[in-house]
Amino acid sequence: MIFEIYSIEDTTKLGFSLGKLLNSGDIICLTGDLGTGKTHITKGIARGLGINENITSPTFTIVNEYDSGRLKLNHFDVYRVSDPDEIYAIGFDDYIFSDAVSIIEWANYIEEILPQELLHILIEKDLTKGDDYRKITITPYGNKFNYIKELKIW
């Protein structure tokens, strides 16, 4: 699925719509350049899960946990991870193979240790279409994500 977005608000709305559909144990992998909106879509997903806490990127802590919604959320930022052993040291498998929804920003940095069943979201800029334009491509890997066909922003 490809969405063309023209504002930060719509990026967040897409995340919100997705968050309402997510199920226990879902793994969302976010990729895209710096400043494309990975954290904004994560904020929307959290709201869609019913989490009203302030969502921040866990750049230095690697993972933030939120458990005030209908499902627990584990939010990873692996931008500064230089070796997969670093991520294993924090109990990565325990996080992603739990009942929580796991969102992994910069997932391409650790793709060799990711499970095969996941939802990949690629966010791309195209400045010729405006500063806030984003092309968001959502690709499901595995049958558990068949519900993604129901995803709509509005």
Q: Is the pLDDT of residue 82 over 80?
A: no
Q: Is the pLDDT of residue 154 over 70?
A: no
Q: In the predicted model, what is the mean pLDDT of residues 18-46?
A: 93
Q: Which residues contact 50 (CB under 8 A, 6 or more apart)?
A: 68, 69, 70
Q: Output the pTM of the full model.
A: 0.91
Tens of pLDDT, residue by residue over 101-136, are 999 999 998 888 899 999 999 999 999 998 999 999
Residue in 148, 114, 134 with CA at minimum distance from that of residue 33: 134
Q: In the predicted model, what is the mean pLDDT of residues 23-51?
A: 93
Residues 26, 100 contacting (CB under 8 angstroms) = no
Q: Is the pLDDT of residue 58 over 90?
A: no
The CA-based angle 13-132-28, given to 5 degrees, is: 45
Residue in 37, 41, 14, 31 with CA at minimum distance from that of residue 122: 31
Beta bridge partners, 31, equal 122
Q: In the predicted model, what is the mean pLDDT of residues 80-86?
A: 79
